[in-house]
Amino acid sequence: MQRAGLVDLRRPDQLVRTARAMRTFGPIAGGIRTSARQAPHRVALVDGGRRVSYRELDQRSDAIAARWHAAGLSAQDTIGVLCPDGLLLVETMAAAGKLGARLVLLNTGFGAAQLRDVLAREQVGALVLDPSLSALGGDLADGITMLDTAGADPGTRAPVPAEQGGFVLLTGGTTGTPKGAPRRVESPLAGAQFVDRVPLRRGQTMVLCAPLFHGTALSQFILALNLGSTIVLHGKFDAQRALTQIGEHRADMVVLVPTMLRRILDLGPEVLSATDTSSLRIVFTAGAALPSSLGTKAIEAFGPVIYNFYGCTETGTATIATPEDWIAAPGTVGRPPVGITVALFDGDTRVIEPGTVGTVHVGNSIAFHGYSGGGSKQLRGGLMSTGDLGHFDAAGRLFIDGRDDDMIVSGGENVFPGEVEDLLYRHSAVTEAAVIGVPDEEFGQRLAAIVVRAGDLDADAVRAYVKSHLARFKAPRDVVFVDELPRTPTGKIDRRGLAALH
């Protein structure tokens, strides 16, 4: 953390102030307050044509929190925010922290029914709704106060809260109403788990393509605020614009999900070479599986800069693969950073042998302590399940084989979709692919591949390709060609959507 610039052990007074700000305001507002003190004129946010310094962001969020407090809001309230990435979202996040209120980060892809359910369950009493999403406002339940950030008086502050309100991240919700995972980060030392594996440094520039309501982007956003870095808010994803932003701002880092990375690379060598991306030191990818062929293609395009993150909303960080990990073992999600334990279990038995598949369990100091609506993830030996199956190689690198509830049993044989999907991604005529199990009278289940093709390819060729590389029972009996795979707003493949396509 000293090397990264998150702490300065030569200035214990600064460390004490930083820790106090984080405990009181939380990691977002606390990070803004700390960076405004240490680098007031540094550009904190780039939102389209607007640039906002840390001092301006700190003062502006102070004024908004004071205005809300004067209107009757306090640390006992829960504030929801439904905004695309932009200045309004960041100001709301910071103001809620300075008020000491609990903040619920809502998914901009919600339908009206999901939104109502989440607002009711999380007991949201006040909501900041972006004007672009105002059509959802008419469907909200009575009793919710609509907030805005206009009319705040410069120079005013709300009373300092006794403690931080924390925030709630929502799970993907691909099987129903998303669950709420409450979070609190009370120590600046929590950042050690990232800077142990990723070369983040003070004063860098980050292009943030992944959405802020998702843990992938939020974790890196928080680190950037506490490092006094410049954050370029990308908004609705556009591959060409993302590439342009990297070159224009001489970005050190870009944060995205694998689908976004694929779309940038699909721009082609001529377009990629027309933009100077030599400033990139970190391509941070998370939120979904990174196919081995895609990660390798990215290294060929940008150099050894791929950092492949693995974790989940509930556990936080599990492992991070460095470029060295990836080059040695394409497809790996790497090793656990400092302070994190990862183990595999087969039932109640801990898996020790390399190559043996088990359910991934994680020990992390910032793991949540239960869903806000009740219930939690399974625990074994004090470690929390991610719900994924994985194996370690002989060097201790983790590989994810698939979800424990996605395993397909066909004719008595166990098949993990991820293995077949990763192979299909290596085919030159395949752009994207997903594999699911569908009911079969003879075998119980059979494999179906949903494929986006980029060239001349038919179902027989897909089956022959799989049979030439894997066991015959892993070849999909059904092959469906589509224009694009269904995905959630965070970039994960929507498995229910796949079944509907089939």
Q: Note whether residue 89 is domain-resident.
A: yes
pLDDT-derived band at 323 (thresholds 50, 70, 90) equals very high
**Residue 477 corresponds to which amino acid?**
R
**What does the pLDDT read at residue 302?**
97
Mean pLDDT of 412-436: 89
Number of structural domains (the chain) is 2
Q: Nearest 10 degrees: CA dihedral of 31, 37, 43, 48? A: 50
Kindly state whether residue 468 falls inside one of the protein's structural domains: yes
Query: Can you read off the two tokens belonging to residue 317?
Result: 């960080």
**CATH number reported for the structural domain that contains residue 445 in this entry:** 3.30.300.30
pLDDT digits (tens, 9 = 90+) for 2-25: 898 888 888 888 888 888 998 999
- The domain boundary residue, chosen from 156, 186, 216: 186
Q: What is the mean pLDDT of residues 381-406?
A: 90
The answer to whether the CB of 363 falls within 8 A of the CB of 346 is: no
State the virtual CA torsion across 470, 476, 477, 479 in degrees, nearest 10. Answer: -140
* CATH of residue 102: 3.40.50.980
Mean pLDDT value of segment 468-475: 89
Structural domain contains residue 15: no
Position 500 pLDDT exceeds 90: no
CB-CB contact of 372 with 166 (8 Å): no
Local confidence band at 257 (pLDDT 50, 70, 90 cut-offs) = very high
Identify the pLDDT of residue 172.
67
Does residue 82 lie within any of the structural domains? Answer: yes
Residue 185 has pLDDT above 90, yes or no: no
According to the model, what pLDDT value does residue 139 have?
65
The whole-angstrom separation of Cα 31 and Cα 183 is 16
The string over 344-370, giving b where at least 16 C-beta atoms fall within 10 Å of a residue's C-beta and e elsewhere, is bbeeeeebeeeeebbbbbbbbebbbee
Q: Among 186, 215, 233, where does a domain finish? A: 186
Averaged pLDDT for residues 178-190: 79
**Cα dist from 184 to 23, 97, 187, 210, 473, whole Å:** 9, 11, 9, 21, 46
Return the minimum-mean-pLDDT range out of 63-67, 92-96, 380-384, 389-393: 380-384
Who contacts 281 (Cβ-Cβ below 8 Å, separation ≥6)?
A: 199, 204, 252, 253, 305
Out of 84-98, 105-119, 275-289, 468-482, which region has the weakest mean confidence (pLDDT)?
A: 105-119
Distance CA 402, CA 416 (A): 6
**What confidence score (pLDDT) does residue 175 get?**
47
Dihedral class, residue 339 (left if φ above 0, else alpha if ψ from -120 to 50, else beta): left
Amino acid identity of 63? A
SS3 content of the chain, % helix, strand, coil (to 5): 35, 25, 40
Encode pLDDT of 65-123 as tens digits. 999 999 999 999 999 999 999 999 999 999 999 999 999 999 888 877 788 889 999 99
Higher pLDDT, 52 or 388: 52
The answer to whether 76 touches 62, Cβ cutoff 8 Å, is no
Quick one: pLDDT at residue 157? Answer: 95
Q: Are 66 and 100 in contact (CB under 8 A)?
A: no
Q: Is the pLDDT of residue 174 over 60?
A: no
User: Is 446 contained in some domain?
Assistant: yes
Q: Which of 3-12, 94-103, 325-334, 452-461 has the lowest mean pLDDT?
A: 3-12
Residue 478 falls in which region: left (phi positive, over 0), alpha (psi -120 to 50) or beta:
beta
Pairwise CA distance, residues 90 & 342, whole Å? 33
Q: Does 141 score more than 70 pLDDT?
A: no
Q: Which residues of 401-410 are buried (b: 16+ CB within 10 A; e: fewer)?
A: bbbbebbbeb
Amino acid found at 403: R
User: What pLDDT shows up at residue 188?
Assistant: 66
Q: Is residue 296 part of a domain?
A: no
The last residue of a domain, from among 186, 219, 252: 186
Q: What is the mean pLDDT of residues 239-243?
A: 97
pLDDT tens, 118-132?
999 999 999 999 999
Residue 94's H or E segment, with its range, is helix 87-99
Query: Do the domain assignments include residue 120?
Result: yes
Integer Cα distance of 2 and 9 in angstroms:
7
Range in 43-57, 289-303, 390-404, 486-500 with the lowest mean pLDDT:
486-500
Residue 474 belongs to domain spanning: 408-501
Answer yes or no: is pLDDT of 173 > 60.
no
User: Residue 20: what residue type?
Assistant: R
Q: Which of 12-21, 45-54, 233-242, 352-361 has the lowest mean pLDDT?
A: 12-21
Once rounded to an integer, what is the mean pLDDT over residues 240-263? 96
The stretches of 274-322 forming alpha helices (DSSP H) are 292-302
Q: Which of residues 258 and 366 earns the better pLDDT score?
A: 258
CA dist 195 and 164 (Å) reads 24
Tell me the Cα Rg of the chain.
23
- Is 380 inside a domain boundary? no
Over the chain, what is the mean pLDDT? Answer: 91
